[in-house]
Amino acid sequence: MTEVTVTSFIILGTALFMLLNSAAVAVYAERRVAAFIQNRVGPNRVGPFGLLQPIADVLKLLLKEDVTPTEGSKFIHTVAPMIPVVTALMTVAVIPFGEGLYATDINAGVLYLLAVASLSVYGVTLAGWASNSKYSLLGGLRAAAQMVSYELPLGMAVASVVIFVGSLSVVDIAVAQENWWFVFLNPVGAIIFIIAAFAESNRTPFDLVEAEQELVGGFHTEYSSMKFGMFFLAEYMHVVINSMLMVTFFFGSYHLPFAGYWLPELSPLLKGILDVSVFVGKTAFFVFLFIWVRWTIPRFKYNQVMKLGWSRLLPISIINFLVLAAILFFFFNG
């Protein structure tokens, strides 16, 4: 592990600040893109182009009455919304945003990411249970089952990246993609990762945890005020985080395509600006992809999600891993 310096804290602080804001931007983007897809105008009244809409939203949530179900578990009901927010914030610590621009470089960073990501399911499941509502309970149970099922193909997809790099450090993975993005070397893994990431962040077509239609919001049916706001915030932070992970693992992190072959040496400042812009640009594209998919296609049924996860994605990801490992061992060994 590298030494923690003042720079690390500055980067961490900036990254957290940006992540919190990115959730607000994502909310705004979601509403505008949804409106665009649905031939509507979308929010355009609060501030220029409606840019202050997220602030108005949060203000509204803050001023709302906070209702706790009388028969529910008050303590867990209060704690549950914090879990997804905290786990989302913890993730940024190991993500490199540019060459040398990372808060910390843990040598088992990938494991840390997977571990933290899988913690967030507790928030959803506990919220579903603590609300003492049947709709919430169904939502929470669906969440638990879905997260467990998609954790595995996600892990296998990441593992198939790790064998290329030979290191569990996220920074090393980013550096290794200077010439070839892993999406070109490992396209199957990339597709599996994207699908699993959609499922992990509970977005359409895997949003049966919320299932606005049949479960009326699922796990957050009984939540109001800022407790609901935290779930809301966490959902968008997870969208952003998962987009970042897609970029980091498969889409070249902060590198331009095949940058190693043609990009000239730049001054550190210029390189830093370029790296961060490239990273942000790619992340923004995947956030857009999340939104685009959400407003276009229907959602799966519970049993279909399970079938897809266990009988399609998991075997394919394992075979993909084995095939890649064999190729690397027999042809590129040495």
Place of tokens 């169904």: 138
Closer residue to other proteins in complex, CB, 150/251: 150
With CB under 8 A as the contact rule, which of the stretches 6-14, 98-106, 183-191, 289-297 interacts with other proteins? 289-297
With the C-alpha atoms ordered 43, 45, 50, 52, is the resulting torsion angle positive or negative? negative
Place of tokens 């830093």: 272
Instruction: List CB contacts of 209: < 8 A, sequence separation 6 or more.
Output: 124, 139, 140, 142, 143, 146, 202, 218, 219
With CB under 8 A as the contact rule, which of the stretches 1-9, 69-77, 293-301, 323-331 interacts with other proteins? 293-301
Among 67, 134, 187, 311, binds other proteins (CB under 8 A): 134
- Give least dist CB 290 to other proteins, A: 15
DSSP for 135-154 reads HHHHHHHHHHHHHHHHHHHH
Q: Does 40 help bind other proteins (rule: CB under 8 A)?
A: yes
Among 39, 70, 267, 333, binds other proteins (CB under 8 A): 39
What does the alpha-carbon distance between residue 267 and residue 270 come to, in Å, rounded to a whole number? 5
Measured between alpha carbons, how far is residue 105 from residues 16, 125, 222, 249, 329 in Å? 16, 31, 40, 15, 27
Among 184, 258, 302, 310, binds other proteins (CB under 8 A): 302
Extract the tokens encoding 65: 């009455």
Widest Cα–Cα separation across the chain:
65
Q: Does 300 help bind other proteins (rule: CB under 8 A)?
A: yes
142-171: contacts with other proteins (CB under 8 A): 142
Q: Does 38 help bind other proteins (rule: CB under 8 A)?
A: yes
- Give least dist CB 291 to other proteins, A: 11
DSSP for 210-279 reads T-TTTTTTGGGTT--HHHHHHHHHHHHHHHHHHHHHHHHHTS-TTPPTTHHHHPPP--HHHHHHHHHHHH
- Give least dist CB 32 to other proteins, A: 14
With CB under 8 A as the contact rule, which of the stretches 30-38, 100-108, 277-285, 326-334 interacts with other proteins? 30-38
Q: Does 267 help bind other proteins (rule: CB under 8 A)?
A: no
What does the alpha-carbon distance between residue 193 and residue 153 come to, in Å, rounded to a whole number? 7
- Give least dist CB 214 to other proteins, A: 5
DSSP, res 310: I
What does the alpha-carbon distance between residue 161 and residue 188 come to, in Å, rounded to a whole number? 11
- Give least dist CB 301 to other proteins, A: 5
Q: Does 34 help bind other proteins (rule: CB under 8 A)?
A: yes
192-221: contacts with other proteins (CB under 8 A): 204-205, 207-208, 211-216
- Give least dist CB 226 to other proteins, A: 24
Size of the site for other proteins (CB under 8 A): 29
Q: Is 112 helix (H, G, I), strand (E, B) or coil?
A: helix
Closer residue to other proteins in complex, CB, 128/252: 128
Closer residue to other proteins in complex, CB, 93/192: 192
- Structural contact between residues 247 and 290, judged by C-beta atoms closer than 8 angstroms: no
Closer residue to other proteins in complex, CB, 3/71: 71
Per CB under 8 A, residues contacting other proteins are 34, 37-40, 134-135, 138, 142, 204-205, 207-208, 211-216, 295-304
